[in-house]
Every structure is written in structure tokens, then in C-alpha cells.
Copies of this chain bind each other. A is one copy, B any other.
Amino acid sequence: MRVLILGGDGYLGWPTALRFSARGHEVAVVDNFSRRRWHREHGTDSLTPIRELDERIDAWREISGSEIRRYVGAVEDGAFLDEVVAETRPEAVVHYGEQPSAPYSMMSRERAVETQHTNVIGTLNLLFALRDHVPECHLVKLGTMGEYGTPDIDIEEGFIEIEHKGRRDTLPFPKLPGSLYHCSKVHDSTNLHFACRIWGLRATDLNQGVVYGIDTEETARDERLITRFDYDEVFGTVLNRFCVQAVIGHPLTVYGSGGQTRGFLNIRDTLQCVELAVENPAERGEFRVFNQFTEQFSVAGLAELVKAAGEHLGYPVEVQHVENPRVELEDHYYNATHTKLLDLGLEPTLLGEELVESMIHAIERHKERVIESSIDPKTRWSPGAPVKL
């Protein structure tokens, strides 16, 4: 199969490219290295010493004998993306090519506009390119569980049947995004659904939970293939950050009470899910939504797990509740359906102390690279007085 991966230099995009290439597919990646640029601008960096895209691709060729084609450019550049799609004629596109950080989107007007422009216009350009060149192509788009927020009812997979005043319809599940980044993902979903309904495209929106982990089967084959791993307040996600904090002796920073509950999954399961989606494409005209996570945890619960694992390895671990820089409920109902990927055959890698210990070991190898000043939260959701929800 011809698979095009947007954001193919990223945390998940690069391992995804390797996975499809390892399976014998013809893989091309698009990236404009924004993620590397954003880190440089903030004085932060990946924990892992990632190589330049060209070096990665060369190493993969050497190891596997397979070629990954690269296209350097921005998805916001419609003419560029149109050319890439016309030239590669993908049968599946996996779209990770977005600004992925909630705090980044909340830093300033400029960053918010950059986020929504990059994400919304990039995806819109992609939809037109697919319509015009490869309308049969299956688009696998990364969304986020954060699109739903924390409603007081069970979260379904994209759609919900509503009975209202004696009538009934199945409609898009209402969204309560928690940052301007999350809003941009909601916008994308709306545009995707539209393109499937009106143009007959086929798309799977993967509403992914919070990803943790470093290694995948392919990245572990050579140190030059390692993927990025972020732990800073802007691009780091909670479990990855906690593990780094445990290793360097920094208290685990729980935002507020830590009652915030979210869906989580291992990076290896991200690859499994994306593979399953690609292997089982949506129908023409179908807009399909999968809730892509394997387990629910509260932030405080994760801190306890990392504390236990860290202490088991001899690290003294302190859990510190800091003022929540975000505006979000810290005590809420949360129950999200996630059966569609299981139905397709997903075999979850469940999180336990052993897995956390293996992450800690992986982090130990690079602990001298940690920039400690980048960890504590600085980006506030509300620049004025704290907002009470």
C-alpha cells in the first residue's frame, strides 16, 4: 500500500513511518520541522537525542533495506500539499501534521492563531487534495479525547443517538474542548465530517488519549531510529513528565487536586491502532470516529503509580500538588466508550509498575540531557484572576 504520513518527523509520526515501512508498505513522509523549531524557540529539547530526518531515513535504509521518501514543507501550504498528494497518490494518509500542544495554544494570541491556522487550514488543504487527486484514499486523522471535555454523561465514539421531543436521530457527540488546541481538533472533525458527507471521502478520526512511552519495536532496533520524548511543560504529557521527574529527583507536579481523569495509551498501542484503522478502512462517504485509548487514570493515580515504581527502583519520589495552570474540572464524572478498536483486534498494552519501571530505565540513559527549568508549569489558561468552573 502507498501510505503518506504527515508529521512524519514527530513523536508518533516517525515510529508510524517505520512501522508501515517494516510491514512492506511504500511510505512517504511530510514534515516542516515545526516541532524542532518550537523547541529551539523555547530553549527546550527532546530527552532523547533524535537524529535529523535524513539521518534517520538513511539509518532505516541501511537496517531494513527499505526506502522512506521525504517531502519537506508545510501542510498549510496548499499548493505544496496538493503536489505531494498528486505525486505520491496515497491509498492511506495518516495525518499527525499539527501543532499538538494545549499549553502552546494558550500562550498568546500569536500562538493560538498559529495553532488554529496550522491545524485547521492544513487539514482543509489535505481534504481538497484528496478530493481532487485520490478520492478513494482513506484518511486516518489524529484527533484527541480532549475534544469531548468532561461532560456529565458517558462519552461515545463520535456520535450519539439522541431522543428529543418524541423524535430520534444519531448526531455528532457534543464537544467541550479544554484549550484552543483542543478547539482546533474539534474544527478539524467538523471539516472532516463535512468532506465525507458532501464529497464522499472516507475518514477515520482517531480521538486519541494521552500517549506515554518511548520505544516501539522498530525504533528499538538502532539508536539512530529513536523517537523524540518530551517532558517540558509545553510539549510533555503527564506520565512521560512524571517519569522524568522521578529520575531527576524533581517532585511529581500534579496540577491541582489531580482528580482529572483521562484516557491513556502506550505508544506501541498508538501504532497498533493506526495500523488497524488503515487495514480496515472506512467506507466511501463514511466519517468514522474511534476513541483511541486503553485505560482511564486520574492524574493523582498516575503520580502514585510512578511514585511506587520509582521507589521500587530506589528513587525517593515526592508528589507535589501545584496550583493548576489550566482551567478545568478537577473532580468530575468520566466514562468514555472505547470498543471499536478492540473490536478490530487491538491488544492493549496495560500500564503497570513494571512498564513504568522500563520507562524509567529508558529515561536514565539520557538523564544528563534533562533541562530542569523547562518542567514546571508557566503557561496559564487564564491570565487574569483564576476562573472557577
Contacts and interface: CB of A to CB of B under 8 A. Distances in A.
A22 to B, nearest CB: 34
Contacts of A152: 167-169
Contacts of A164: 153-154, 156, 160
A143 to B, nearest CB: 14
Nearest to A76: B113
A109 interface: yes
Given A112-B124, A128-B109, A177 B194 contact: yes
B190 A162 contact: no
A180 interface: yes
Contact of A190 (B117, B183, B194): B183
Given A125-B113, A135-B384, A387-B200, A180 B194 contact: yes
A24 B165 CA distance: 44
Contact of A78 (B109, B121, B186): B109
Contacts of A285: 387
Interface string A198-225: 1110000000000000000000000000
A347 B178 CA distance: 38
Most buried by B among A179, A190, A333, A381: A190
Nearest to A129: B109
B382 A198 contact: yes
Question: Chain copies in the assembly?
Answer: 2
Interface string A85-124: 0000000000000000000000001101100110011001
A175 interface: yes
A190 B172 contact: no
B191 A167 contact: no
Contacts of A49: none
Contacts of A63: none
A377 to B, nearest CB: 16
Interface string A141-185: 000000000011110100010111101110111111111100100
Interface of A: 78, 82, 109-110, 112-113, 116-117, 120-121, 124-125, 128-129, 131-132, 135, 151-154, 156, 160, 162-165, 167-169, 171-180, 183, 186-187, 190-191, 193-194, 197-200, 285, 327, 333, 381-384, 387, 389
